[in-house]
Amino acid sequence: MSGVWVFKNGVVRLVENPGADSLDGRRKVLIHIPSNEVITSYAVLERKLYSLGWERYYDDPDLLQFHKRSTVHLISLPKDFNKFKSMHMFDIVVKNRNVFEVRDM
């Protein structure tokens, strides 16, 4: 049995997809802090990352990847924006401190 045990309203249940974004019904969104803009597409995200010195990396055709020359960091995202999950958002936040944040909607 794999997953995460969640305690809510006095009930314990097993959530078998711990990678799901919203255990409590709220979804996560990536926010560009300087503009307070919600990232709604890869086109918007790509413009923000380019302005921070990130470059597209074309090594894997199944992923969107960005690399910053001055670091060893690589951001790897699924090609389909609908598969863009909170783990991807937090990866972007960690690699771009004080520029992005993840919020509950």
User: Per-residue confidence of the chain (105 residues) as pLDDT tens digits?
Assistant: 556 677 677 777 766 655 555 556 678 999 999 999 999 999 999 999 999 999 998 988 899 999 998 889 999 999 999 999 999 999 999 999 899 999 998
CA 100 → CA 4, 29, 55, 89, distances in Å?
Answer: 27, 10, 17, 9
Look at residue 53 in the predicted model and tell me its pLDDT: 95
Q: How far apart are CA 2 and CA 40, in angstroms?
A: 32
Contact 59, 65 (CB under 8 A): yes
